[in-house]
């Protein structure tokens, strides 16, 4: 893999969508099929989403169209990365 291996398409990290009032989620995902509603097979994308958009992404993942690699909550434009659950 070359330098493009780290490329993430979709929304830029400072995209206007990040700062919209309804934005609550950021996801980074891989497009697994040509049937995916967003992107082309083999792409890795970042999207800033509302709750409704995130629900659609989860449904797409359940259908096997995408694989969500990373999720973070968005509050007033701030990215709050999900914490890994600790084992006790």
Integer Cα distance of 49 and 52 in angstroms? 8
Question: pLDDT tens digit string along 39-59?
Answer: 999 999 999 999 999 999 999
Mean pLDDT rounded to a whole number for the chain: 91
pLDDT band at residue 32 using 50, 70 and 90 as cut-offs: very high
Residue with the two structure tokens 């992404």: 57
What is the total residue count of the chain? 88
pLDDT band at residue 4 using 50, 70 and 90 as cut-offs: low
pLDDT band at residue 3 using 50, 70 and 90 as cut-offs: very low
Residue with the two structure tokens 């398409």: 9
């Amino acid at each position: 893999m070359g330098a493009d291996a780290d490329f993430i398409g979709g929304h830029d990290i400072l995209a206007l969508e990040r700062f919209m009032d309804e934005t609550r989620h950021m996801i980074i995902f891989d497009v697994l099929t040509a049937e995916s509603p967003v992107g082309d097979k083999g792409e890795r994308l970042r999207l800033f989403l509302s709750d409704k958009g995130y629900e659609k992404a989860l449904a797409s993942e359940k259908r096997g169209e995408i694989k969500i690699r990373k999720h973070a909550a968005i509050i007033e434009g701030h990215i709050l990365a999900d914490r890994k659950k600790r084992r006790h």
